Amino acid sequence: MFSLPEHIKKVHVYEPGKPEDELKRELGLREIVKLASNENPLGPSPAAVRAIIEDLKNLNRYPDGNSYYLKRALAKHLGVGIENLFVGLGSNEALDIISRAYLRPGLNAVYSEKSFAVYPIVVQLAGAEHKVVKVKDNYYMDLKAHLDAIDENTAVVFLANPNNPTGTAFSRTEFETFLKDFPDNVLLVLDEAYYEYAVGAGFDIENGVEYIHEKNIVVTRTFSKIYGLAGLRLGYAVAKKEIIDDMNRIRQPFNVTRPAQVGGVAALEDKMFIKHSQVVNEEGKKYLYEQFEKLGLPYVPTYANFILVKVGFPSREVFKRLLQKGVIVRAMDGYGFNDHIRVTVGTMRENIIFINKLKEVLEELKDESL
């Protein structure tokens, strides 16, 4: 007799957007501007692309099950030991494995509302309970509330810094205050997917990697955002050896593909690309802030590569109308932001197109509501 466990029946299947080519055909548009998934608008790291092409002739061979060269490059990049590194299919695999390792029915995980959509999914898959903490002033992570929510059954706390979808961040000082009171018998997962963008903004963000021996902390980072390799599925986790050993027990033996391993090594060395991506993001932010101010739209200052903006009309409706005009953003009603959208900072050309189409949509909606 086979059946799905009740807690897994409750999982909502993630619904990805339509492929761009299909949208183009459907809408009869020449160009789609995709600013929905916080991808790097400059494309992938060119060095990574070259390294991947070079290695394609070896695709008949299994990848190195230990991702040795990639871990060696990461170890050097981060100043940690190889034994402190887990690499996986995006940082999402690390989040999933942490949940499978340390959560189970009877235990709970603490995380904030209006944060990364993957936390509730992996907690649900593990059959654990959810303790969802409120944000402060509609947008800001309440670190103290996370501490207050911890009880005798709490195994894991998830924290994203900077946070998605708000783009807010807490400082190194705030983090250190929080960490001082963080219990020794709970695992802190610090999701730093946008770390490089916060650094590019000149923000004094904690480097989670420096704290992995102080408490039980897993820092997760990704190649999906500033490295421009979302399609490759590559991410990593940094923690003390005992935690990494647990995670390696659970992963598949060949979880990271050959292209991901060689592409990751090359991308890490492509410092120019990262620098350029940071500069383009800062310029794009500045332009979008100015335009939002002109339009009288309140926005949340961001430390990542996307902006949460209050458009003042129903999120779904603005999303749909922008889509008809070939601009894809993210509707935010699912996060309780019923009149906000989230837009990824694009190239300057994409940002200008987005603003022009947004103006058209807002004019239409204003006219209709008269």
Ligand X SMILES: *Cc1c(COP(=O)(O)O)cnc(C)c1O
Residue with tokens 């299994």: 62
CB-based closest residue to ligand X: 90
Task: Indicate the residue among 160 and 187 with the shorter CB distance to ligand X.
Answer: 160
Decide whether 230 or 250 has the Cβ nearer to ligand X.
230
Asked if 45 interacts with ligand X (CB under 6 A), we say no
Q: How far is the CB of 233 from ligand X (least distance, A)?
A: 7
> Is 191 or 270 the residue whose CB approaches ligand X more closely?
191
| Residue tagged 């189409």 (tokens) | 357
Closest distance of CB 116 from ligand X, Å: 4
164 binds ligand X (CB under 6 A): yes
Give me the half-sphere count of Cα atoms (radius 13 Å) on the Cβ side of residue 38.
24
CB nearer ligand X, residue 91 or residue 291: 91
260 binds ligand X (CB under 6 A): no
Interface with ligand X, residue 222, by CB under 6 A: yes
- If one asks whether residue 259 binds ligand X (CB under 6 A), the answer comes out as no
β-strands 306-310, 340-344 pairing: antiparallel
Least distance in angstroms from the C-beta of 160 to ligand X: 4
In sequence order, what DSSP letters do the residues of 188-245 get, joined into one string?
EEEE-TTHHHHHHTT-----GGGGTTTSSEEEEEESSSTT--GGG--EEEE--HHHHH
Give the separation between CA 303 and CA 194, rounded to whole angstroms. 8
Would you count residue 235 as binding ligand X (CB under 6 A)?
Answer: yes
Least distance (Å) between residue 109 CB and ligand X? 15
**Minimal distance, residue 304 CB to ligand X, in Å:** 8
Does 193 help bind ligand X (rule: CB under 6 A)? yes
CB nearer ligand X, residue 116 or residue 175: 116
Binding track, positions 70-109, relative to ligand X; x by CB under 6 A: --------------------xxx-----------------
* CA gap 217, 214 in Å, rounded: 8
Q: From 215, 198, 142, 268, select the one nearest 207 (Cα to Cα).
A: 198
Would you count residue 270 as binding ligand X (CB under 6 A)? no
3-state helix, strand, coil in the chain (%, to 5): 45, 15, 40
Reported in sequence order, the residue ranges of 101-207 that DSSP labels E, i.e. its strands, are 108-112, 129-133, 154-160, 187-191
Pick from 224, 257, 302, 315: which binds ligand X (CB under 6 A)?
224
Q: Which neighbouring-strand residues pair with 220?
A: 191, 237
- Give the residue among 67, 99, 98 at the shortest CA–CA distance from 259: 67
Decide if residue 38 touches ligand X (CB under 6 A). Answer: yes
Instruction: Tell the burial category of 137 from Cβ atoms under 10 Å away from its Cβ (0-12, 13-18, 19+).
Output: exposed
CB of 90 to ligand X, least distance (A): 2
Nearest distance from residue 31's CB to ligand X, in Å?
A: 24
Report how far residue 339's alpha carbon sits from residue 314's, in angstroms, rounded to the nearest whole number.
5
Q: Report how many residues bind ligand X under the rule CB under 6 A.
A: 14
Interface with ligand X includes 160 (CB under 6 A)?
yes
Cis upstream peptide for 162 (omega within 30°):
yes
| Contact flag: residue 120 with ligand X (CB under 6 A) | no
Whole-angstrom distance, CA of residue 318 vs CA of residue 364: 10
* Residue 71 or 225 with smaller CB distance to ligand X: 225
Q: Could you say which of 102, 116, 197, 354 contacts ligand X (CB under 6 A)?
A: 116
Q: Verify binding: residue 161, ligand X, rule CB under 6 A.
A: no
Catalog residues that contact ligand X under the rule CB under 6 A.
Answer: 38, 90-92, 116, 160, 164, 191, 193, 222, 224-225, 230, 235
